[in-house]
Amino acid sequence: MSEILLGIGVATFVVYAVFNVVYLMSMKRNMDSAGAFLRNTENNVNAALVELKGTLENLRKISGDIGAVTSDVKRISDTVAGVERSMRGLFEYVKEGLGSAAGAKMAGLKAGLTTGVATLAKRMRVRKEG
């Protein structure tokens, strides 16, 4: 009877050992696959990080260029606003100058006409009397 129990124990151990060996081999394959996946992922991630670094540097350059262009546009708009203010001032100056010059000329013309008409009337009176 002890031989039968010993035989059953040995058979159970052999079956257990076979299943364990198969299980361990499966685990080794899984670990090898996981290791290969991690190596590939690491290489892909490193390549992606290098590309990301280049992209960020280009983005930094572009944002710097945009800042420079924005600064130039601001300076141009300030200059245009200054020119507009100067033109408006010049227009006002010319308008006032022409207005006052025209006013002075009109006043002179009026005085001249008044004096001329008065002189003409005086001479006509003098001719009638004389």
- Which tens digits make up the pLDDT trace of 85-104? 888 888 887 777 766 777 77
- Split at pLDDT 50, 70, 90, the class of 27 is very high
pLDDT tens for each residue of 38-56: 888 887 888 888 899 999 9
- φ and ψ at residue 30, rounded to 5 degrees: -65, -40
Tell which residue, 28, 50, 48, has the closest CA to residue 40.
Answer: 48
pTM for this structure?
Answer: 0.41
